Chain A
Amino acid sequence: MKPPTGARLRGALRAALRALQAPLIAIAGGMLIGAAIMLLAGHNPVEAYSAMVEGAVAGRNLSNLVSTINRAAPIVGMGIAAAIAFRAGFFNIGGEGQLVLGGAAAALVAVYIPLPGPVVVPLALLAAALAGGLYALMAAFFEFRFNVPLLVSTLLLNYPARFFTGYLVTYPFRDVPSGMNQTNLVPESARFALLGPHTQLHAGLFVTLAIVVVSAFVIDRMVPGYEIRMTGLNSRFSRYGGVDVKRLGYWTMFASGAVAGLVGAIEVLGVLYRFIDGALTLPLYAWTGIMTALLSGSNPIGVLVAGLFFSALQTGGFGMERSTEVVRELSRVLQAVIIMLVAVRASFEFGLGKKGEPET
């Protein structure tokens, strides 16, 4: 008996194409609408887009491509954090707060615990995951115990976290001589090593990749993954099927927040080498991450691809701003339009009721 390899391959190919269809159409539509906006504003879209492509992937020694990859790492990480929660139907938009708490926790551990690097790095990652995870858990607790909608509580919790970490690096843990609101530098032994003498790529990227692979494996293959997908699709059905929605909710939110916290730690130990007030929030990593989860239908591998794409849009935006009259924030417009087009096509079912209030 001959295995129908050809047919199976064709089937898989067709499925992949179908999955890619909606995002690709949305991206094409977004670029067209972006071009129309530029034309209306009196800019040359061809010039702007080619400057964008050059800014995203070209440059001497591919330096722009390197910055695209470096910028993609936190975006992909935050996309995974969002995807984990979205898949289970929990609209966690508090990634930003979980991210800064993780970053601050990692920086404090790395700066103030005088142990050798191989001990401090895992310790810093653990502290970051705990800080982000517990903060997200708090929002889950508010939802399950007090019926405060997760969407609103996670968002509101972003601000206290930002202010609190800002306070930490302005007063008790400030690097006073630097004159900036930041911690002292992380000792070299506790940093992620650079991957070569002339590159900004660092070993922390492998941690991000590991997060992608593990989450892809867990979401799609393992039992909790199956449960998470089922609650995302229909929470009442899963409850009849014996899934403990609350317990799953707590775990999901903890995992989502822990990943966000880890992303903060990776940025601190691999790129910034200290916690700087605003450095993790101003580039909108958390919001872009949410966009990648939405664009990819919360598929971890899709998040990886979408994260690289949005990162390219953003670093390309810098190149575009340097060589044309178009500001880099046009990338933000493109992202928004792409997500709008995806939203119209997609049929997510989030665990929120019509009025944003969970059922009891």
Chain B
Amino acid sequence: MTELVGLFDANLLSSILRFVAPILLAALGGLICERAGVFNIALEGLMLTGAFAAVVGSFFLNNATLGVLTAMLAGALLALIFAVLAVSLGGDMIVLGIATNLLASGLTIFLLRTIFGVKGAFRDENLKGLGSITIPVVKDIPILGPIFSGHSWIVYLSLLLVVVTQYYLFRHRLGLRLRGVGEVPEAAATLGVSVSGQRYVAVILSGVLCGLAGAQLSLGNVTLFVENMSAGRGWIAVAAVMLGQAHPLGVFGASLLFGLSDTISFRLQGLGMPSQFTGMVPYVVTLLSLFAIQLQKRRRAAAAATAAAPAK
């Protein structure tokens, strides 16, 4: 029992949302694409591009917020390329997604050398990171304090964006159009909604969100850029979209689950468990939860079939 309490000390609690935010932001982007009928597996590359651009922007403009804006812009730009190739030119989205990830990995390393003259990693004392916000009263509440207080503004924004995405997709006219394009593109087109227009919007939004996610990695969690620092989080986000059934709250829950298993695996490592086993945790948890979701789906479908009612 004491071990369990030790597992969840203030340090661990305060790192949960920091781990969750990048995955959540990227997953929200993936979710919007999914709803518009675009299978976007380029999240990893978009996030990595954002992480790099954030460092470039913050370093040269001497301002972390401008760094975040640079990241959003760079994410949007790469997403635009993806959109042109996938939406306008009809390229296979999976192939393009894989290629975009590879492009981001190579291009960031190329630019790291070209712009900063280094290989591997870039850190500099003049590089401005995002400060952390301490919430006055909340910070003194046990448990909740360390969880919610003391993060960069991107972390709080990511939580807010869950609500915004929910509202946009299910309560707003534009969101309805976007979903229509994803669900019945022919009908949406008949009603005068531009299918490719909505898909462009979705893909570019995902680029912006992944840019934010990357900025949180390179200016929030740490203040430096390392080659391939997204380290598979974009793929975890793809799984989070699937696990959350392309629903903002579901995706939030899935991201929380992955962030939590990430944090716990970090802590177990501190307790002397081989890092190889703790490293597996997030991926195994992801796979197991995908099973669980599919089993539940099947059970519900079977129940609906026996009740002879239309499945919802």
Real binding pair = yes
Residues of A near any B CB (own CB < 8 A): 37, 41-43, 91, 93, 142, 146-149, 151-153, 155-157, 159-160, 163-164, 166-167, 170-171, 287, 290-291, 294, 325-327, 329-333, 335-337, 339-340, 342-344, 346, 348, 350, 352, 354-356
Q: Do residues A41 and B111 form an inter-chain contact, with CB atoms below 8 A?
A: yes
Contact of B95 among A163, A287, A339 (CB under 8 A): A339
Q: What's the dominant secondary structure at chain B's contact region? A: helix
Q: How far is the CA of A287 from the CA of B242 in the complex (A)?
A: 23
Q: Are A354 and B37 in contact (CB under 8 A)?
A: yes
Tell whether A152 pairs with B239 under 8 Å between CB atoms, given A327-B109, A343-B85: yes
Tell me if B294 is interfacial: C-beta within 8 Å of chain A.
yes
| Cβ–Cβ contact A149 & B274, under 8 A | no
Chain B residues lying within 8 Å of A164, measured Cβ to Cβ, are: 276, 280
A159 to B34, CA, bound (A): 25
Q: Is the CB of B110 within 8 A of A327?
A: yes
Residues of A within 8 A of B109 (CB): 327, 329, 332
- Closest-by-CB residue of B relative to A151 is B94
Shortest beta-carbon contacts, A-B, top 10? A332-B106, A336-B103, A167-B276, A333-B106, A343-B91, A329-B109, A336-B102, A343-B95, A344-B91, A339-B99
Chain A positions within 8 Å of B160 at CB level: none
Q: Provide the bound-state CA to CA distance between A156 and B280, in Å.
A: 10
Chain A residues with Cβ below 8 Å from B276 are 163-164, 166-167, 170
Q: 1/0 per position for B281-304, CB-CB distance to A under 8 A?
A: 001101100110011011000000
Which residue on chain B has the smallest CB distance to residue A91?
Answer: B94
B: contact size bracket: 35 or more
* Interface presence of B114 (CB below 8 A): yes
Give A28 to B257 CA distance when docked, in angstroms: 45
Q: In the complex, what residues of B have CB within 8 A of residue A325's CB?
A: 113
Contacts of A294 in B (CB 8 A): 95
Least Cβ–Cβ distance between A58 and chain B, in angstroms: 24
B188 at the interface (CB under 8 A from A): no
Q: Is the CB of B295 within 8 A of A146?
A: yes
Q: Which of A142, A146, A336 contacts B99 (CB 8 A)?
A: A336
For the complex formed, measure the closest distance between the CB of A168 and the CB atoms of chain B, giving whole angstroms: 9
Contacts A155-B235, A170-B276: A330 and B290 contacting too (C-beta < 8 A)? Answer: no
Q: Are B277 and A336 in contact (CB under 8 A)?
A: no
Which of B100, B103, B107, B239 is in CB contact (< 8 Å) with A156?
Answer: B239
A335-B102, A336-B103, A355-B37 known, 4 other contacts, Cβ within 8 Å? A148-B290, A155-B235, A164-B280, A332-B109
B238: A residues at CB distance < 8 A: 152
Indicate if the CB atoms of B102 and A156 lie closer than 8 Å: no
Q: A331-B106, A333-B106 are in contact. Are A350 and B94 (CB under 8 A)?
A: yes
* A-facing residues in B67-93 (Cβ within 8 Å): 85, 89-92
- With both chains docked as a complex, state the minimum distance between the C-beta of A282 and any C-beta of chain B, in angstroms: 11
Chain B residues with CB under 8 Å of A331's CB are 106
Give the CA-CA distance A147 to B90 in the complex, in Å: 27
Q: Which residue of B lies closest to A159 (CB)?
A: B283
Tell me, yes or no, whether B172 is within 8 Å of chain A by CB. Answer: no
How far is A214 from B96 in the complex, measured between Cα atoms in Å? 30
CB pairs A–B below 8 angstroms (30 shown): A42-B114, A43-B114, A91-B94, A146-B291, A146-B295, A148-B294, A151-B94, A155-B235, A156-B287, A159-B283, A160-B284, A163-B277, A167-B277, A287-B102, A290-B98, A327-B109, A327-B119, A329-B106, A332-B109, A333-B103, A333-B106, A339-B95, A340-B100, A343-B91, A343-B99, A348-B92, A352-B94, A355-B37, A356-B39, A356-B242
